[in-house]
Structure 1
Amino acid sequence: MVVLAAIFGLAGALGSGGGGGGGDKQPPSLWEPIPFVYNSLQFLLDNEGFMKRAQAALKKTTVARFRQGGHLVYLVSGPKNVQAVFGRSHNNNIHNDDLMVRSTLPLWYRLSADDLRRFATDKTGRGRNPLPGTEDTPPENRLFLGYEHVHNEFLARAQHLAPMVEQYQRQLTQTLDGLCPSPSDATGTGKKGRNDDGVVLGVVDFCKGRVARCALHALLGPGAFEISPDLVERMWEFDDAVFPLVMGLRLGVPEWLNRRAHAAHRRYLNAVRRYLDAAWADFDWADPASADARWEPRFGAQVTREVAKWFRDHGFTGPDTGPGAVGILAWAQNSNVIPTTTWLVMEVARDPELLRALREEVETAFATDGATGRRRTLDPQKVAALPLLASAYTETLRLRMNFNVVRNVRQSFTMAGYTIRGGSLLQVPTLVAHYDEDVWGAESHPASEFWAGRHIKYTDEPDAEGRVTRKRVFAMASRTGSYFPYGGGNLICPGRHFAKQEIMLTIALLISRFDIEFLGWTKLDGSPSDRPPRNDPRFSGGGAAPPDRDMKIRIRPIAS
């Protein structure tokens, strides 16, 4: 399909509207050289090529359509249309329940056919009140609502988020302190010394290894590594298998033809299962101090414990269901955060001026000792509010998130003058919205390039003596329809709060402890590269695209 994409390119991106059926006005079709086949296969096998064609098509219309297998799919762009998809008025009509039953639950949660039927029969929606006609459904049978609630409650609320952030900060601090001795203890003996050579790191390996391990420790607790020391490796092996697994499901490829991907998935599930079995065996549910703990060493964060418990309490006791639920939680936390962190470290490391400005900003986020006046630790809340760091974080997500928000449509409705048919799928591409020059372009800073200051405004503030200080302010107002790295609406990713703090804390801790020297680019196998990285096309459509090259840096401790 890559060859076909090269042959046909972007020519004839849109075909005629045709085939409206029933008198409804349909948007133009995404052109395909082989009708009913090409678009569907290219979407799966050459997603980058497909999205480039879609991007070109959506410059001429804000709604286009194509066939993906047996499904009619509408591609949606434009701030007003995107806001309509995510808006409250469509909460009951635009959903992802069918997608969950058809792909997510059987593939990642490994639910049996009987368990899937239980989810499939839940037509109550996810609102507090059941949808009309389903009011008599017992609360325990409102599975989609319960599933969503347990994630939103324990991932998004501040009281549950704070212990995870605290654990992550503690683990990453210890990890960074162990990378190389500080100038006051370069010999590792407690005696003064120098460490002029520093330590050379590959940014990709650093983030996928050390940073991911700290994140998993915060989510799953230390027991995960005591029981499954290879958990990080198994997770990234699974990450490489995700696309073949999804493609195999959609194309009906039998497992024996997709052995490598399924084997990677099984190894990951087994690693998570060993950890979960040990946590269940050691945990005392009768002890309120444990049962109500927001973080404890066996399960780690409360969200992990509650997700595993919810599936068990609701009778989903298949051998892979618990490991599948917790495994997908852990993978989802890292699959987008780690590539985003990697890109942001690279952007900071290759720009000395940005590094200097961010370091000055981060200095203001340290808590100080009231008695001595000396700085102690970074305050995560202050870090999350740093304007330039927030802008750099936002810019990285804008450029590196590449996926289509996918929703089911229950009943037909009108958008941009076209009928969106009930039973169809909506896809809202981040690639189109996030790279829109009319929204994001600025003089000397096109939307396709990273610019850390893109989301900064400046205000003049007088001090007590009347002197005016120019102050940075993070500004992202009125762009909700053009920026949605975590999805949107009532189905927005509940893990976004921890993701933001994890990414920003990583940068803040790294640059506050080390001088960073950019050494050069390498290919992922370590050999020299003659160019900087691009978004890895293998991950197009899957979320945060990792870089297809690595960066070598040298870090040296900053004297405190």
Structure 2
Amino acid sequence: MPDMDRPTLLSTLGTLTFGLVLPIGLICAFTYLKTLIYYQLDVRNRPDCKEDIQIVRTPPLIPYAMPGLGSTIAFSNQTVGSFWAFLKAQADRYGHEAFSIILAGKRTHFIFSDDGVSALFKSRQLSRAALDRQLAVNVLGMCKEDSFKAFPDRNDEKEKMTTERLHSEHLLSSAAVNLLTEKFMETFRAQLDDDIDLTDGGEINLYDWLWHRIFRASTTSLAGSKLLEMYPDFDVDYRAWEDSLLALLFGTPRLFARQAYRARDACVEKLEKWLQTGYQHPVKDGENPDWTPYSGARIMRRRHDLYKQRDLSIHGQAGWDLIFLAGILSNATPATGWLLMHILSPTSTFDFRSRIMQELQSCKRSNGSVDIPALTRLPLLNSAFHEVLRLYVDLLVVRQVDSSVALRTHYVNQGEQVMAPTWMTHRNPAFFERPDVFDPERFLITDPETGMLSYSTAGLGGKYFPFGGGHYMCPGRVFAKQEVLGTVAMLLLNFDITFTKFVKHTKGGWEAAGKNDFPTIKNGFAGNQVVGIEGVMRVHIKRRPSVST
């Protein structure tokens, strides 16, 4: 091949580049124009609905330019709420309550009508096993064989134990949940008692301080004390993995997410060794304690029995334990942070904290502990808790379409997938007044005869579903709620906590913010459940000497 001078080489490269870019550009332009025309015809050709006629239609497909990729890039925007704002604009403009996109090559329907969401929860034509297996492989590092064992298409009716039965017995029964909460509160309180700095008091970053203590208490109450004794830095690996969970789920190549894969592998490896240690210290025959240092709560031992029943490898067992811990930890902790910050914030109504404290006093025992069952009945506290979930949950209920079905007026085809986004319903002004405002009294109800207050989420159906719905509703929801309320009560009843300042991140680093600069939502992928906290609330905390601890 003869040598070429620099101008000739640049010219040749330019010609080759143009030769590649031009056809790609033409393909993208043609794809966008074609899908735009179909979209406009679809959204505008919408017959008027009559009360006695149900018109079933396939949700309109949002136009896109890149074949196969579709709207994946737009959906992956990590400014929380941006994609939902776009979808809401389409809904307001055209009057539709469902839209479709091409997401990683698959047609995906977003349904946000309350009757459509309710139908999604009840439908037997929708499932989650295939999506769970994708999570098992990408997020938990399971091999495909283990993923099918952990998440089969159908449960074997001959199985002695299933995840549904296990969760029903150990996560949804009042007696079992109360035991878990009791252990959590015992461990959480022990950390506070051991912290001598709290006697003299000091200033802290509220959420960061809280995260580490809730993590240790939750992990210990579920998995026993041995895990954190073996790996005191387990929280570091876990937090890095948790922050990258959705990036892993979407299949981001290892080259572009090395830290995420490193954290995942470290978590699974540590859980493997913890499992092996626990199996070397089994519970004696005939005994069934509520909790042991090596295996934790009874539900963990029952889960490990299920793993053996399904012949999961030790690597697969560790991965399944990781996602179980995440189901308990990843949402309860930020929910506690948001609730505490609103109670303590100078931006809240002047009497909000005093009314919460008045309620909490009725649940305080003489030894400084908290009556948890009584706590779950407090009207304002529970209304505020549900308001946190309404405003700060960005949950995507995802289902695979096993056979074509009409979800009320929305028709979906076999092989497609359906998503119900809480962001669209929880912030819908037709469902909730001033939906972008935190209103702790939103779920309060006044008895017209007695004037007594209570709280309720009844009648909200497909409008409000922070824990999902139907067959796959979060089994840890009762324990998570008791964790959140118990933590808030323990801190507010036993410590003097006063707001100091807000701190925000700027280009120059962290700096003090004004008293109205309440922390905002942290960037992340859509569907990140309870959203992260961007910004810092600093408070002064000091143990109350009058309380015996």
Task: Give the shorter-chain TM-score range.
Answer: 0.7 to 0.9
| Deviation of 1:110 (Å) | 3.2
In the alignment, which residue of structure 1 is the partner of 2:536? 550
| Deviation of 1:397 (Å) | 0.7
In the alignment, which residue of structure 2 is the partner of 1:437? 429
- Say whether 1:338 aligns with 2:333: yes
| Deviation of 1:475 (Å) | 2.4
Question: What residue identity is the alignment partner of 1:165?
Answer: T
Q: How is 1:93-104 mapped onto 2 (pairs within 5 angstroms)?
A: 93-101=125-133, 103-104=134-135
In the alignment, which residue of structure 2 is the partner of 1:361? 359
Query: Could you say which structure has the larger radius of gyration?
Result: 2
Question: What residue identity is the alignment partner of 2:386?
Answer: T
Partner Cα distance (1:486, 1:518) in 2: 31
Over residues 440-461 of structure 1, what are the superposed CA-to-partner deviations in whole Å (9 max), with x where a residue is unaligned? 10xxxx1101111111122366
In the alignment, which residue of structure 2 is the partner of 1:474? 455
| Deviation of 1:472 (Å) | 1.8
* Contact residue 402 and residue 540 of structure 1 kept, 8 A: yes
In the alignment, which residue of structure 2 is the partner of 1:55? 88
**Change beyond 3 A, Cα 1:339–1:13:** farther
Partner Cα distance (2:343, 2:38) in 1: 38
| Deviation of 1:539 (Å) | 4.6
- Say whether 1:279 aligns with 2:275: no
Q: How is 1:131-210 mapped onto 2 (pairs within 5 angstroms)?
A: 139-140=158-159, 146-179=162-195, 195=200, 198-210=201-213
* Contact residue 391 and residue 455 of structure 1 kept, 8 A: yes
TM-score, normalising length: structure 2: 0.83
- Say whether 1:502 aligns with 2:537: no
Question: What residue identity is the alignment partner of 2:158?
Answer: P
| Deviation of 1:281 (Å) | 1.1
| Deviation of 1:36 (Å) | 5.0
Tell me which of 411, 434, 442 is aligned to 1:454. 442
**Change beyond 3 A, Cα 1:425–1:35:** same
Gaps of 5+ in 2: 1-31, 46-55
Q: How is 1:376-415 mapped onto 2 (pairs within 5 angstroms)?
A: 377-415=369-407
Question: What residue identity is the alignment partner of 2:318?
Answer: P
Partner Cα distance (2:84, 2:299) in 1: 35
In the alignment, which residue of structure 1 is the partner of 2:292? 296
**Change beyond 3 A, Cα 1:478–1:403:** same
In the alignment, which residue of structure 2 is the partner of 1:265? 264
* Contact residue 457 and residue 474 of structure 1 kept, 8 A: yes
Q: Please state whether the residue corresponding to 2:163 is helix, strand or coil.
A: helix
| Deviation of 1:533 (Å) | 1.4
Tell me which of 58, 61, 64 is aligned to 1:32. 64
* Contact residue 120 and residue 407 of structure 2 kept, 8 A: no
| Deviation of 1:277 (Å) | 2.0
Q: How is 1:2-13 mapped onto 2 (pairs within 5 angstroms)?
A: none
C-alpha root-mean-square deviation of aligned residues, in Å? 2.8
Partner Cα distance (1:225, 1:46) in 2: 32
Gaps of 5+ in 1: 1-7, 127-136, 187-194, 368-373, 463-469
Q: Please state whether the residue corresponding to 1:528 is helix, strand or coil.
A: strand
Q: How is 1:485-524 mapped onto 2 (pairs within 5 angstroms)?
A: 485-523=466-504
Partner Cα distance (2:411, 2:112) in 1: 15
**Change beyond 3 A, Cα 1:15–1:521:** farther
* Contact residue 429 and residue 435 of structure 2 kept, 8 A: yes
Partner Cα distance (2:537, 2:184) in 1: 24
Over residues 334-353 of structure 1, what are the superposed CA-to-partner deviations in whole Å (9 max), with x where a residue is unaligned? 11111111111110111452
| Deviation of 1:157 (Å) | 2.0
* Contact residue 240 and residue 259 of structure 2 kept, 8 A: no
| Deviation of 1:434 (Å) | 0.6
Identity %: 21
| Deviation of 1:537 (Å) | 1.8
Q: Please state whether the residue corresponding to 1:476 is helix, strand or coil.
A: coil
Question: What residue identity is the alignment partner of 2:463?
Answer: S
* Contact residue 100 and residue 109 of structure 2 kept, 8 A: yes
* Contact residue 395 and residue 452 of structure 1 kept, 8 A: yes
Q: How is 1:73-88 mapped onto 2 (pairs within 5 angstroms)?
A: 73-87=108-122
Alignment size in residue pairs: 491
Range moving further from structure 2, 169-178 or 203-212:
169-178
**Change beyond 3 A, Cα 1:360–1:118:** closer
Over residues 80-110 of structure 1, what are the superposed CA-to-partner deviations in whole Å (9 max), with x where a residue is unaligned? 11111112xx1x2121012122x12222443
Partner Cα distance (1:529, 1:324) in 2: 41
**Change beyond 3 A, Cα 1:222–1:355:** same
In the alignment, which residue of structure 2 is the partner of 1:528? 512
| Deviation of 1:548 (Å) | 0.6
Question: What residue identity is the alignment partner of 2:412?
Answer: I
Over residues 517-555 of structure 1, what are the superposed CA-to-partner deviations in whole Å (9 max), with x where a residue is unaligned? 111112367543453211112253211111111100112
**Change beyond 3 A, Cα 1:25–1:546:** closer
| Deviation of 1:418 (Å) | 3.9
Question: What residue identity is the alignment partner of 1:139?
Answer: K
* Contact residue 13 and residue 56 of structure 1 kept, 8 A: no
In the alignment, which residue of structure 1 is the partner of 2:225? 222
Partner Cα distance (1:526, 1:279) in 2: 43
Partner Cα distance (1:456, 1:13) in 2: 46
* Contact residue 517 and residue 555 of structure 1 kept, 8 A: yes
Question: What residue identity is the alignment partner of 2:135?
Answer: T
In the alignment, which residue of structure 2 is the partner of 1:134? none
In the alignment, which residue of structure 2 is the partner of 1:106? 137
* Contact residue 77 and residue 83 of structure 2 kept, 8 A: no
In the alignment, which residue of structure 2 is the partner of 1:3? none
* Contact residue 400 and residue 418 of structure 2 kept, 8 A: yes
Partner Cα distance (1:149, 1:526) in 2: 48
| Deviation of 1:256 (Å) | 4.0
| Deviation of 1:230 (Å) | 1.2
**Change beyond 3 A, Cα 1:518–1:98:** same
Partner Cα distance (1:449, 1:270) in 2: 43
Range moving further from structure 2, 406-415 or 383-392:
406-415
Partner Cα distance (1:220, 1:448) in 2: 38
